[in-house]
Structure 1
Amino acid sequence: MPDGRQALLAAATHAFACHGFDGADLRSFAADAKVSANLVRVHFGNKAALWEACLDRVVAVGLPAMAGVQKIACDSARPLSERLCAVISEIAHFYAANPDVRDFVVRHASEAPERAVLVSDRLLRPAYATVRELFSAGIEAGIIRSPHPALFFALLNAALNQPPAFPMLLNRIAPEIDPETSRELLIETTIATFLHLP
């Protein structure tokens, strides 16, 4: 049942992203996926193997996005400031479109060491590698004011990594900000705050 397997992976990725490894349970995955609980054992064997399959799924979603970011970062025909702005926008749009990927990475990069190492090796380090030289060039040009590109990478991702409810939360504290435009305003504000453009 390949459809059942995919439904189970989607449900499990969401549960692991929301509740962590220990907080997510197999019966809930199956119920959310509308499949029999025994399919977890049939397809994956155990919870740890299911988690690794979810990581594979997250990596599969993230790799094309990283390739897109790297393409922008390496496009020397475009001015440095323009590439930096475009990379920030690309990262923000990826997070908005893939909340489970974002939350899965954030949660498991800081949980149990064995899972944190896998997330770091397969996602965080490759993502950083796509922008390291661009951010270093930004630091050298004075556009980025950070002593190290990794610090800028971490702060930028924290700023852009807003929950799906961000537009409504922002609207509650500032009703004049339309939830429909809040994500674009977040990108504009992040660029204005993080980059010292000429």
Structure 2
Amino acid sequence: MDKPTAPRGRRTKDMPSGREALLAAAVRLFAAHGYDGTDIRSVASAAGVGANLVRVHFGGKAELWTAAAERILSRAEPIMEMVAQLSGDHGLKVEERLAIIIQKTADFYRDNPEIRDFAFRSIADGGERADFIAEKLLAPAYAAGKATFEEAIAAGRIRSRHPALFFLILTSALSQPHGFADTLSKLAPEIPRDDAYLYLSMSVTELFLHGI
């Protein structure tokens, strides 16, 4: 059987540029297979371009991973800014702020599964790429909500030995793996599949914030 080949000729106006197509494909493949399980040819094939374009635009696989990670960071910045602004909004009770943070975070992971998978796959792989994600993504995300977490602990609204531990537990609870909605529908068919993440955010809120 002949191997599929990348399309030749000019890219049409409705197609992303070669660099953008490579970045989108790289995020998907690094998220699914990790760094060692992803090669340049696979990324180029998924992007519909020649493998030589990886070297033209990025230089090599390491640089491509870094560019994909930076794409992830740019897409996560708006929610981190929202959490930081919310943490400083003392017109709302701390439990109200925390409930909004939980809901918005669950919505973010629902709408951006590749970001969740890219980050957790990189952390699982360990090494310098795990350090990059911890420093550039997780640390800023924690800093954005830290004041709210500390206030909630001090007020007795949540129980945790440290706000960083609460942040990691909360992140793990909300960043369910691919197939979460399908699995939930099999275990609890009475819950509509499209409402899976809504039920998740409500359940996590009820778990951590008793009596709200």
Q: Does 1:74 align with 2:88?
A: yes
* Over 3 Å off, 4+ runs: none
Structure 2 residue matching 1:196: 3-state secondary structure: coil
Partner of 1:59: 73
1:84/1:134 contact within 8 Å kept: yes
Which residue of structure 2 aligns with residue 97 of structure 1? Answer: 111
Task: Give the Cα–Cα distance (whole angstroms) in 2 for the partners of residues 197 and 81 of structure 1.
Answer: 10
Deviation track 1:78-102 (CA, whole Å, cap 9, x = no partner) reads 1111101000111111111111111
The superposition leaves residues 121-151 of structure 1 with CA deviations (integer Å, 9 ceiling, x where unpaired) of 1111111000111101000111111111011
- Deviation at 1:197? 3.9
Backbone CA RMSD of aligned residues: 1.3
Determine which structure has the larger helix proportion and give its number: 1
**Bigger mean CA deviation after superposition, 5-14 or 160-169:** 160-169
Contact kept, 8 Å, 1:88 with 1:187, in 2: the verdict is yes
* 2:56 paired residue number: 42
Q: Secondary structure at the match of 1:22?
A: coil
Q: Which residue of 1 aligns with 2:5?
A: none
Tell me the residue number matched to 1:178.
192
Q: 1:109 aligns with which of 99, 105, 123?
A: 123
Match of 1:15 in 2: 29
2:38 to 24, 31, 39: 24
**Segment of structure 1 superposing worse, 162-171 or 137-146:** 162-171
Aligned mates of 1:66, 1:150 — CA distance in 2:
16
**Which residue type is aligned with residue 199 of structure 2?**
L
TM-score normalised per structure 2: 0.90
Number of residue pairs the alignment of both structures matches:
198
